[in-house]
Amino acid sequence: MSKSFKHQPRRKFIKQSMAAMAISAAGFPMEWIKRPVITEKVKPREPWRPEQPIRFSVIGMNHGHIHGQIESMHRAGGILVAYYAVEPELMEDFGKRYSGAKPARSAEEIYEDESIQLILSAAIPSDRADIGIKAMRHGKDYMSDKPAIISLEKLEEVKKVQQETGRIFSVLYSERMENKASVKAAELVKSGAIGKVVQTVNLAPHRMNIPSRPEWFFDKKYFGGIITDIGSHQIDQFLYYTGSTRAIIVGSQTGNVHYPQYPEFEDFGDALLRGNGGMGYIRVDWFTPDGLDTWGDGRLTILGTEGFIELRKYTDIAGRPGGNHLFLVDGKEARYIDCSDQYLPFGELFSNDILNRTETAMTQEHCFLATEVTLQAQAQAQRIDVEL
């Protein structure tokens, strides 16, 4: 037996004893020396489908988020009827993926089809609001990818048409509604698991991947700015988890610090917010390094008066496989919850809203508030002027 191995238990004992003495001297209970994290996993549940499936169609598929929108409706038994885009190559690719749907000859063909109840769109962001306006005026409900609206003036027009028609204008905020850890976090917050929410901190890095990006992606007049685009997710979450029905922008900033070849682009933005239900901080960027195993290490911390929740939505660099990781610490224990089997209810709730004219998936008030606060944060942002 080697000398180093022989004395290893004694060294370990001395190290633990010194740690215990330090904790005791600081006035902390001895049981805090080592407290295991409790591990659990969300149990799956069967999906609900309405007796009358929703018939929906797509106008504009310039962003891949359209597939998540379609999937949310398919889970609730929705039927994709038809699709249209002005770009022939998008029509061809979409048709290969959804061969059971009909390629429309024009957007008007979809608007005029009275059998279609819902129109989805992930068109170029600057076009999404007008698609929604036409959909509502043709008696159809509308679900847009984010951002659905990129100017405050267009927001007022959308609000006016929505009130006149009584149709649903919705935005699928996938980082909250279609992320399993986010859905579980909502359940825990509503149950009072961490007391009253005080603040949310939401970090949302994205991977640039320049070769995959179309020209409009780099021009602010088409995507509205980084807070309008990516930050709409984070502001939706801040309002939702804090329960805020009003909010102000304490401060915000945006800039293009790394891509001078695209002068109309923004690669960084952050904002400090204060709502009547709590406070929030968001940071968005296009700096995900290529060494990461996914497009972004999306993180959300929800601070409560009696504990906190932390989400690692898409990856855990500490080594746990996949995404949908939730950590909860309260006055009794620390828990890790694997949310990979969490049920996603958005499609079910949204279908129910279409059929029964309810607001269970997202209220119209919240939809417009999230958009308004996002556009205000973008409009008020100070320009970052740094050289890296």
pLDDT tens, residue by residue, 114-173: 999 999 999 999 999 999 999 999 999 999 999 999 999 999 999 999 999 999 999 999
pTM, to two decimals:
0.90
- Taking 50 as the pLDDT cut, the residues of the chain under it are 1-6
Domain extents for the chain? 55-173, 176-345+377-384
Architecture in CATH for domain 176-345+377-384: 2-Layer Sandwich (3.30)
Non-local CB neighbours of 91 within 8 Å, separated by 6+ positions: 83, 84, 85, 103
Q: Are 184 and 353 in contact (CB under 8 A)?
A: no
pLDDT computed for residue 256 by the predictor: 96
pLDDT confidence of residue 345: 96
- Please give the pLDDT value at position 6: 47
Instruction: Please answer whether residues 111 and 134 qualify as being in contact, where contact means their C-beta atoms are separated by less than 8 angstroms.
Output: yes
Domain 55-173 has CATH 3.30.460.10: no
Of 247, 232, 239, 259, residue with least CA distance to 125: 232
What residues have CB less than 8 Å from 363, skipping those under 6 apart?
none
pLDDT at 331: 95
In this prediction, residue 1 carries a pLDDT of 46
